[in-house]
Amino acid sequence: MAKAYQRILLKLSGEALMGNLGYGIDPAVVQEIAQEVADVVASGTQVAIVVGGGNIFRGVKASSAGMDRANADYIGMIATVMNAMTLQDALEQIGVATRVQTAIAMQEVAEPYIRRRAMRHLEKGRVVVFGAGSGNPFFTTDTTAALRAAEIDAEVIFKATKVDGVYDRDPTGDADAHLYKSLTYSHVLTHDLRVMDSTAIALCKENNIPIIVFNLSERGNISRAVAGEPVGTIVGG
Select from 227, 216, 224, 226 the least CA-distant residue to 13: 216
Measured distance CA(156)–CA(73) in Å, rounded: 27
Binding ligand UDP (rule: CB under 6 A), the pick from 77, 84, 110, 201 is 77
Helices (H), the chain: 27-42, 59-64, 69-93, 115-123, 141-151, 185-190, 198-207, 221-226
Provide, rounded to whole angstroms, the least separation between the CB of residue 158 and ligand UDP.
14
- Interface with ligand UDP, residue 140, by CB under 6 A: yes
Taking CB under 6 A as the criterion, the residue among 73, 149, 166, 203 binding ligand UDP is: 73
Under the criterion CB under 6 A, does residue 137 sit at the interface with ligand UDP? yes
Q: Which is nearer to ligand UDP, 13 or 221 (CB)?
A: 13
Contact with ligand UDP (CB under 6 A) among 53, 131, 165, 232:
53
> Does 232 belong to an annotated binding site?
no
Choose one: 2-10, 139-147, 154-162, 183-191; the region binding ligand UDP (CB under 6 A).
Answer: 139-147
Q: Is 144 in the site for ligand UDP (CB under 6 A)?
A: yes
Bridge partners of 51, per DSSP, are 12
| Intra-chain end-to-end CA distance of the chain, in Å | 28
User: Which residue in the set 46, 102, 134, 223 belongs to the binding site for ligand UDP (CB under 6 A)?
Assistant: 134
Examine residue 101 and tell whether it contacts ligand UDP (CB under 6 A): no
Q: Using the rule CB under 6 A, which residue among 10, 34, 38, 54 binds ligand UDP?
A: 54
Least Cα distance to 81 among 109, 118, 59, 114 occurs for 109
- The CA distance from 87 to 196, in Å, is 22
- Contacts with 112 (C-beta within 8 Å, 6 or more apart), sequence order: 101, 102, 105
Among 35, 43, 136, 198, binds ligand UDP (CB under 6 A): 136
**Is 131 within 8 Å of 87 (Cβ atoms)?**
no
Residue selected from 14, 131, 165, 232 as contacting ligand UDP according to rule CB under 6 A: 14
131 binds ligand UDP (CB under 6 A): no
**Cα–Cα distance list, 151 to 14, 15, 37, 58, 147 (Å):** 22, 25, 21, 25, 6
Length of the chain: 237
Residue list for the binding site for ATP: 11-14, 54, 58, 161, 167, 170
What residue ranges bind ligand UDP (CB under 6 A)? 13-15, 52-54, 58-60, 72-73, 76-77, 80, 133-134, 136-137, 139-142, 144
